[in-house]
């Protein structure tokens, strides 16, 4: 069984400044790795390889780490032959090559050695995950995730430890950062081991999400359809949050669109826009605006958990949810043309409210 526990950290001034510096360095590594992969694709598939006259071997117009003639050394990881007569790991992936180049990065840029090695490796694997999500969703239907984008300070706010994390009471040990206090409001159950920890910076403080695992607890097993006797249907509403099939309705508090919230949001946004760009006062006003958005998010998440608990607590065998393609509903209607004249036909776009 895998689950996550989230806690609010209490770092000192030194630890907080060190983590801020880590985020800047990890963001630069992520962007460099992404640019290196894009350059490799352009060199290999768009520009094309050329043949060296003397060696009669293929070469790339430029040199990058993830190319087959790259600067990271031999691309062939292992040439040993297994029992079936096949090569073991005959080709390195782009992520493996970039992870192998991390020790060289630490030698050339010494301050990268201050970051834990597993954090640097997980940063490259994060890019691998983004690539896998892009190519896997392209094979699916309409909706999917886009191509990985370059990160800035606003959308790169976390890093992950893979090992070495320890918890004792209200203190947590993070490699290269030391012991750090946190608000221990829930005890980790006995038998669970720490698998990973993600440090995330939010508007008000630093948070840690600890992934714990207990293999002795089996995963939840789905009940066969033959044993399902009662079903509760849930339908998303417009004025109400959820409509249930037993005629019960759950209210939508509208935390961000209420009269008071809209007025507060308007005032704080106006204060940010009136400050000089790049000034300390603008940063303070933006931080205050971000804390208000975080407060709305926390209220919404807490209410959603309460609603989910209310739905699950009903005595039914199964719960049915609708699967709406929201992005498809918001898109414009496809253009229709007459086959003979080529003129545009009515496609119902004027009736589509989006």
Domain count, the chain: 2
Task: Return the structure tokens found at 22.
Answer: 């880590």
Q: At what angle do helices 259-274 and 280-312 cross, to 10 degrees?
A: 160
Residues 67 and 213 in one domain: yes
pLDDT at 96 (0 to 100): 84
What is the reported pTM?
0.78
Residue 351 lies in a domain: no
Long-range pairs of 93-99 with CB within 8 A, sequence gap ≥ 24: 93/128, 94/37, 94/40, 94/66, 94/128, 94/131, 95/124, 95/125, 95/127, 95/128, 97/65, 97/66, 97/70, 97/72, 98/33, 98/36, 98/65, 98/66, 98/72, 98/124, 99/124, 99/125
Residues 97 and 22 in one domain: yes
pLDDT in tens for each of the 354 residues of the chain?
A: 889 999 999 999 999 999 999 999 999 999 999 988 888 777 777 766 666 667 666 655 544 566 554 444 444 444 456 666 665 555 667 888 888 889 888 988 899 999 999 999 999 999 999 988 888 765 554 455 788 999 999 899 999 999 999 999 999 999 999 999 999 988 888 889 999 999 999 988 999 999 999 888 887 788 888 889 999 999 988 889 999 999 999 999 999 999 999 999 999 999 999 999 999 999 999 999 999 999 999 999 999 999 999 999 988 989 999 887 777 777 778 888 888 888 988 887 776 665
> What residues form DSSP beta bridges with 233?
320
106 close to 113: Cβ distance less than 8 angstroms: yes
Residues 260 and 198 in one domain: no
Q: At what angle do helices 13-41 and 117-138 cross, to 10 degrees?
A: 40
Residue 272 lies in a domain: yes
User: 65, exposed or middle or buried, with CB in 10 Å at 0-12, 13-18, 19+?
Assistant: buried
The DSSP secondary-structure symbol of 93 reads -
Residues 216 and 234 in one domain: no
Using alpha carbons only, give the angle 151, 122, 162 rounded to the nearest 5 degrees: 140
Residue 346 lies in a domain: no
Residues 174 and 241 in one domain: no
pLDDT at 76 (0 to 100): 42
CA pair distance 123, 135, nearest whole angstrom: 19
Domain boundary among 168, 189, 221: 221
Domain boundary among 162, 187, 221: 221
Domain boundary among 188, 221, 254: 221
Residues 232 and 217 in one domain: no
Residues 190 and 49 in one domain: yes
DSSP 99-160: HHTHHHHHHHSGGGGGS-HHHHHHHHHHHHHHHHHHHHHHSSSS----------TTT--EEE
Which structural domain, as residue segments, surrounds residue 77?
1-221
Residues 188 and 232 in one domain: no
What region, left, alpha or beta, does residue 262 occupy, with left being phi > 0 and alpha being psi -120 to 50 degrees?
alpha
291 close to 284: Cβ distance less than 8 angstroms: no
Residues 233 and 283 in one domain: yes
Residues 258 and 171 in one domain: no
pLDDT at 75 (0 to 100): 43
Residue 292 lies in a domain: yes
Q: What Å distances lie between residue 351 and 236, 295, 333, 335, 337, CA to CA?
A: 22, 37, 10, 14, 18
Residue 347 lies in a domain: no
334 close to 345: Cβ distance less than 8 angstroms: no
Residue 345 lies in a domain: no
Residues 154 and 294 in one domain: no
Q: Which of 4, 30, 1 is nearest to 211 (CA)?
A: 4
Residue 348 lies in a domain: no
Residue 352 lies in a domain: no
Question: How crowded is residue 109: how many other Cβ atoms within 10 Å of its Cβ?
Answer: 12
Residues 241 and 193 in one domain: no
Residue 286 phi, psi dihedral angles, 5° rounding: -65, -35
């Amino acid at each position: 069984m895998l689950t996550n526990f989230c806690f609010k950290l209490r770092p000192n001034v030194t630890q907080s400044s060190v983590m801020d510096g880590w985020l800047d360095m990890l963001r630069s590594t992520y962007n460099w790795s992404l640019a290196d992969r894009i350059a490799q694709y352009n060199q290999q598939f768009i520009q094309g390889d050329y043949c060296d006259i003397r060696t009669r071997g293929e070469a790339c117009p430029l040199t990058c780490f993830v190319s087959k003639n790259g600067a990271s050394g031999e691309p062939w990881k292992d040439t040993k032959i297994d029992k079936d007569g096949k090569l073991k790991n005959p080709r390195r992936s782009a992520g493996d090559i970039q992870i192998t180049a991390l020790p060289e990065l630490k030698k050339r840029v010494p301050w990268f050695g201050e970051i834990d090695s597993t954090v640097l490796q997980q940063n490259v694997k994060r890019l691998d995950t983004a690539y896998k999500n892009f190519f896997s969703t392209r094979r699916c239907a309409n909706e999917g995730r886009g191509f990985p984008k370059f990160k800035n300070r606003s959308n790169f706010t976390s890093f992950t430890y893979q090992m070495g994390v320890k918890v004792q009471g209200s203190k947590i040990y993070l490699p290269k950062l030391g012991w750090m206090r946190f608000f221990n409001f829930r005890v980790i159950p006995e038998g669970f081991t720490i698998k990973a920890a993600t440090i995330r910076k939010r508007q008000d403080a630093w948070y840690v999400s600890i992934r714990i695992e207990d293999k002795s607890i089996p995963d939840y097993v789905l009940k066969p359809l033959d044993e399902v006797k009662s079903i509760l249907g849930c339908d998303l509403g417009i004025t109400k949050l959820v409509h249930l099939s037993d005629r019960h309705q759950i209210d939508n508090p509208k935390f961000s669109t209420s009269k008071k919230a809209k007025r507060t949001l308007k005032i704080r946004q106006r204060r940010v826009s009136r400050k000089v760009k790049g000034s300390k006062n603008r940063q303070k006003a933006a931080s205050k605006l971000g804390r208000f958005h975080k407060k709305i998010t926390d209220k919404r998440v807490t209410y959603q958990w309460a609603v989910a608990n209310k739905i699950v607590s009903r005595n039914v065998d199964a719960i049915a949810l609708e699967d709406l393609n929201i992005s498809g509903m918001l898109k414009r209607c496809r253009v229709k043309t007459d086959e003979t004249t080529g003129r545009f036909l009515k496609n119902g776009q004027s009736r589509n409210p989006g």
